[in-house]
Amino acid sequence: MTVTRRDFMKYTGVATLPLVTGTTFAQTAEFNMKFGCNLPATHPLSTSAMKMAEKIKTETKGRVNIQVFPYNQLGNDTDMLSQLRSGALDFMTLSPLILGSLVPLAQINGVGFAFKDYKQVWAAMDGDLGAFVRRQIAATGTIFAFDKIWDNGYRQITNSVRPIEKPEDLKGVKLRTPPGPIWVSLFKDLGASPTPLNFAEVYSALLSKVVDGQENPLAIISTAKLYEVQKYCSLTNHMWDGYWFMGNKKIFEGMPQDLQAIITRNVAEAAALQRAEVYKLNESLANDLKAKGMAFNNGNTDAFREKLRQSGFYADWKKKFGDEAWTLLEKYTGKLS
């Protein structure tokens, strides 16, 4: 069965028209800019970006008009990343792990079961680990990341075969992962059959059963309506992931300093709002998803960790990332291997 984009829109009820902010100043703005992301317009990442764009427009007195294009309207993550690099796109949010194909060290927050809680996450990502990764991103010469990473959350596994409680339950499960090398490695080591796909293809791939399952935080399972095409939700918390808010370096650095400062401050302020809203959703959505028909269970964290230890996951990635990066990670998480 082939699901077209039109079918997809019909199933998910997502509007096909771009959500254009800042129409008042659109004609007169000195800087008409575009921001793209992969999440639905109702997810806090998109709503925060829209509020941010409004504030930037007001504070720059209409000189900067950022149009927000949610839910892959400009293309999937891979497409948007190449647009960002070429300057066809001004800003985007992207998982550090997906950025991994271009900036391998950016994947370091994706080490399985690394961060015990949000205290560790923000200490690391707002601290030396995040700064280290942002330096790697800036070293591409074409793109850069703003200081405060936006939240996605702790990831949970959904599928339509069985509840996933321990690694053995993943055996034979075709699990969609985002296109990031460490994701494929993690789920291969846990015994699943990982299939990397961009998020833009996930709903239709689950619907047509090209894959059995996927893994994402509850806010995404809810706003992207994945509960419509998935039965089981297993709370594994196997990894925390966020979104670097990134810009095209040349375009941004070509802007007047006062405008750069307004944008930079607003990206950080929007990050704070976005983090609070995502946290609230991820913490509170389980009952809502149960009412929509999903069956929840808890994952056995110790069993998953042990499997990763035995498979050599930690040793392999320590070697790939190198001592400097690994030491920075363990500064916040404690000893991992």
83 vs 95, which CB is nearer to ligand X2X?
95
The token pair that represents 110 in the structure block: 């994706």
Which of 47, 67, 83, 95 touches ligand X2X (CB under 6 A)?
95
- CA–CA gap between residue 299 and residue 36 (Å, rounded): 34
Closest separation in Å from C-beta 36 to ligand X2X: 12
Asked if 333 touches ligand X2X (CB under 6 A), the answer is no
φ and ψ at residue 154, rounded to 5 degrees: -80, 135
Asked if 71 touches ligand X2X (CB under 6 A), the answer is no
State which of positions 214-233 bind ligand X2X (CB under 6 A). 216, 220
99 vs 294, which CB is nearer to ligand X2X?
99
Q: Are 67 and 21 in contact (CB under 8 A)?
A: yes
Closest separation in Å from C-beta 184 to ligand X2X: 13
- CA–CA gap between residue 176 and residue 94 (Å, rounded): 17
Q: How many CB atoms lie within 10 A of CB 297?
A: 15
Give the residue among 314, 319, 157, 296 at the shortest CA–CA distance from 236. 157
Closest separation in Å from C-beta 179 to ligand X2X: 8
E-strand spans in 70-201? 91-94, 143-145, 150-154, 156-159, 174-177, 193-196
Closest separation in Å from C-beta 180 to ligand X2X: 8
Which of 187, 199, 304, 321 touches ligand X2X (CB under 6 A)?
199
Which of 12, 38, 67, 204 touches ligand X2X (CB under 6 A)?
38
Under 8 Å CB-to-CB from 328, ≥6 apart: which residues? 108, 124, 128, 129, 132
63 vs 225, which CB is nearer to ligand X2X?
225
Asked if 237 touches ligand X2X (CB under 6 A), the answer is no
188 vs 309, which CB is nearer to ligand X2X?
188
φ and ψ at residue 39, rounded to 5 degrees: -105, 155
Asked if 247 touches ligand X2X (CB under 6 A), the answer is no
Binding mask 100-139 for ligand X2X (x = CB under 6 A): ----------------------------------------
Closest separation in Å from C-beta 334 to ligand X2X: 25
Side chain identity at residue 172, one-letter code: G
Measure CA 272 to chain center: 16
Asked if 156 touches ligand X2X (CB under 6 A), the answer is no
CA dihedral 157, 98, 263, 280 (to 10 degrees): 10
Which of 44, 70, 100, 178 touches ligand X2X (CB under 6 A)?
178
Q: First vs last Cα of the chain: how many Å apart?
A: 44
- Site residues, ligand X2X (CB under 6 A): 38, 95, 98, 152, 178, 199, 216, 220, 241
